[in-house]
Amino acid sequence: MAPYSNFKVGAALETVDGLIITGCNIENASYGLTVCAERVAMFKALSDGHRAFVRLAVVADTETPTTPCGACRQVLWEFAPDLAIVLANLTATTSHHPPRELLPHPFGGRSWHR
């Protein structure tokens, strides 16, 4: 649902037991309230009780891959640090990345627990 930017992104999150949970970016007139496809998929999975994930595909109708934004990178690292992130457009898969590669110095509970 991207009525303001018309920049549509889809995400598909695979759980360890093979379930696919999808998400799309959901825009709001107040852009700060917009939620990206990656977080929609992750939050849907978490709210349904899933805690272990294999991979996340992020797809947009672009020439080059659309990478997760900073907020999504943080959420993905925190809830699925070993996730394989697959970036693609409408014609091909373009690259694979672990969260640590996209967010090399993450912040989280592990940052302050000793």
DSSP conformational letter for 61: S
Q: List Cβ neighbours of 101 (8 Å cut-off, separation of 6 or more).
A: none
Instruction: In whole angstroms, give the CA distance from residue 106 to residue 65.
Output: 22
Each residue of 26-40: b (16+ CB within 10 Å) or e?
ebeeeeeebbbbbbb
DSSP conformational letter for 23: E
All domains of the chain, ordered by start, with CATH? 9-112 (3.40.140.10)
Q: What is the pLDDT of residue 56?
A: 98
Q: Is 27 noted as a catalytic residue in this protein? A: no
pLDDT in tens, the chain (114 residues): 999 999 999 999 999 999 999 999 999 999 999 999 999 999 999 999 999 999 999 999 999 989 999 999 999 999 999 999 999 999 998 899 998 899 998 887 655 554
Instruction: In whole angstroms, give the CA distance from residue 84 to residue 76.
Output: 10
Instruction: In whole angstroms, give the CA distance from residue 107 to residue 74.
Output: 7
| Burial class of 53 by CB neighbour count within 10 A (0 to 12, 13 to 18, 19+) | buried
Q: List Cβ neighbours of 108 (8 Å cut-off, separation of 6 or more).
A: 74, 77, 78
Q: Out of 14, 27, 38, 101, pick the active-site residue.
A: 38
